[in-house]
Amino acid sequence: MSVCLGTDPSPQLFASWAKKQGIFLHPDVAFLVPTKTMGAGVFARRQLPKETVIVSCPFSSSISPYAGPSTVEAPCVKALNDTQVKDNVLYVTLRFMAEVLRPSSPWVPWLKTCPRMLDHLFGNVIDDKAFCSATCTSLGTVSTRWTCLSQQLLEMNVSQRWGLAEEIMKRYPEHWPEDRATFPLFCECLALVLSRNFHRENVEGREGPYLLPGLDMVNHSFEANAILEIRGGGRKHSLTFCLVASKELRRGEQVLLSYGKIGAARFAVEFQFVTDSVVGEDMLRFSVDVIVDIVAAIMASGESTNDTESNVRMLRQRVERLQRLGFLFDEGLYISRLPRTSINRDLDAVGSSCSASTWGAEIAPATVKDVQRFFNVFHLMTVSTGEFDHLIHTINRDWQVKRTDALMTLASRVIAMRAEAAHLQLNLVQEQFSGEEHSSRRRLMETVLNSELQMLDTLQEYVKGMC
């Protein structure tokens, strides 16, 4: 099957198309410039002052779940609106896919600039041993579903989304021909949507995702020199997405936008790259499901008669109460990367009995708070029913559990179980993705898993230093 994606990333053709769609490209900025390590990028042709609008895209020339009057005709929109798709990511993926499949689509000049994304991690993940395996250890049963990589990947719900997509596409074969609207193409379109979209987190009900031609060509850096601004949207001026220089740009400087400090696993799954700077800003995530699973596994290993279903129901009820109290986010809890070099230096200086105060100056207050939340949550998830009910009615979100030997033993066990799960997944990835055709995927996953293992090792040292 032939698709137009990435077939002609011509700056001239894209600029001509963009002008017709009302997309502004600054004349002193070069788009689709090849780079050595970042694909194509956007560069300043001359020095540009701060607050220069580099590129802007009107809402009418975007792809989003909120399609209205558009400068680019899109016949599939009516079909999608009629089916009342509630999953915004699925909506945009199907809209994008319809344009890829559409003969003579008016979006072709832009689609030709979108690179192929064949090394995505999607597929039949739910059946993949690397992401859904479990094994018994001396600590209890551990699962590869617990790793940051698995959490991020499984939450994409690829199989479920594909099932819904199939139902819609079968109803409207004129937009998604059965012989061409395949699962591999769906996965690639999903990967492109995830890697190129923008969100409006501060606008409830209109969060996105939005595909914004031109803005989507800017590469990532935590040391960004551009920011996204949303202008207009009132009666007089139409809504426009603008990429604006956040500082003066030098001639030849690449325009860079921060994709956010979202963790290496999310970068790998959504953007298919992980850099040293991304690893340096990585964080451990314990989703709600993972917290419940780990505590259930600990309970199961300590009970002669174990009612797993009853335990899980009880634990999920506790999670809901902790979320209402503000102890847990909807996404679970996060622990930012601890400073490895300072830990090793301090441990060497004072021995394994070093306390938290020994390196308090080295750790950001937000990270100390992350670790405390980790202690609080796992203590509250594992105490007896009577103690939980008592605590939940007497504490507030500022409460901190006392750091006892029992708490440190529990925390150390949880960290060790996560590390066992990450080691198991790393071995399975190296085994299952050993072929040359999987080399890009394998290296990406190895980087993410090794980062997680380093963070767990560092956190374990920190916890043991408190004992």
Whether 277 maps to a domain, the answer reads no
Q: Are residues 243 and 303 in the same domain?
A: no
Cα(169)–Cα(319) distance, integer angstroms: 38
Residue 315 is assigned to a structural domain of this protein: yes
pLDDT category of residue 72 using cuts at 50, 70 and 90:
low
Residues 288 and 160 in one domain: no
Gap between the Cα atoms of 77 and 69, Å rounded? 11
Residue whose tokens read 């993940």? 125
User: Are 120 and 70 within one domain?
Assistant: yes
pLDDT score, position 197: 96
For residue 276, what are its two tokens? 């040293």
Mean pLDDT check: name the lowest of 29-38, 202-211, 267-276, 344-353.
Answer: 344-353
Amino acid 70: pLDDT? 58
User: Span 331-348, mean pLDDT?
Assistant: 71
Q: Would 146 be classed as within a structural domain?
A: no
- Identify the CATH number of the domain in which residue 447 sits: 3.90.1420
Same domain, residue pair 169 and 286: no
Q: Token match 């990333």: residue?
A: 9
pLDDT at 10: 95
414-441 pLDDT, tens digit per residue, is 999 999 999 999 999 999 999 898 899 9
253 and 286 in a common domain: no
Which of 260, 294, 322 lies at the terminal end of a domain, its last residue?
260
Q: What is the mean pLDDT of residues 210-237?
A: 91
Q: How confident is the model at residue 281 (pLDDT cuts 50, 70, 90)?
A: very high
| Structural domains of the chain, count | 2
Whether 339 shows a pLDDT value over 80: the answer reads yes
pLDDT (tens digit per residue) in 34-43: 998 889 999 9
Number of continuous H segments (helices) and E segments (strands) in the chain: 16, 14
- Nearest Cα neighbor of 107 from 98, 116, 115 is 98
Whether 109 and 206 map to the same domain: the answer is yes
CB atoms within 10 A of CB 54: 25
Q: Label residues 176-205 b or e (16+ Cβ within 10 Å = b).
A: beeeebeeebbbbbbbbbbbbbbebeeeee
pLDDT (tens digit, 9 = 90+) per residue, 400-411?
A: 999 999 999 999
Res 252: pLDDT: 98
Same domain, 229 and 299: no
Same domain, 289 and 185: no
Sign, CA torsion 188/190/193/196: negative
Last-in-domain residue among 198, 229, 260: 260
Helix (H, G, I), strand (E, B) or coil at 374: helix
Per-residue pLDDT of 173-191, as tens digits, reads 999 999 999 999 999 999 9
Of 128-137, 337-346, 384-393, the range with the lowest mean pLDDT is 337-346
Do 28 and 79 fall within a single domain?
yes
Domain edge (last residue) among 197, 227, 260: 260
Region 193-204: mean pLDDT is 88
Q: Are residues 291 and 418 in the same domain?
A: yes
Q: Could you tell me what percent of the chain has a pLDDT over 70?
A: 91
Q: How far is residue 214 CA from its own chain's centroid?
A: 22
Residue 147 lies in a domain: no
CATH at 196: 3.90.1410.10
Overall average pLDDT of the 325-333 stretch: 93
Q: In this predicted structure, what is the pLDDT of residue 350?
A: 37
Whether residues 375 and 253 fall in one domain: no
For residue 182, which amino acid is it?
T
Q: What is the pLDDT of residue 234?
A: 66
The answer to whether residues 286 and 371 belong to one domain is yes
Residues spanned by the domain of 211 = 11-127+155-260
Backbone angles phi, psi at 342, to 5 degrees: -70, -35
- 3-state SS of the chain: helix, strand, coil percent to 5? 50, 15, 35
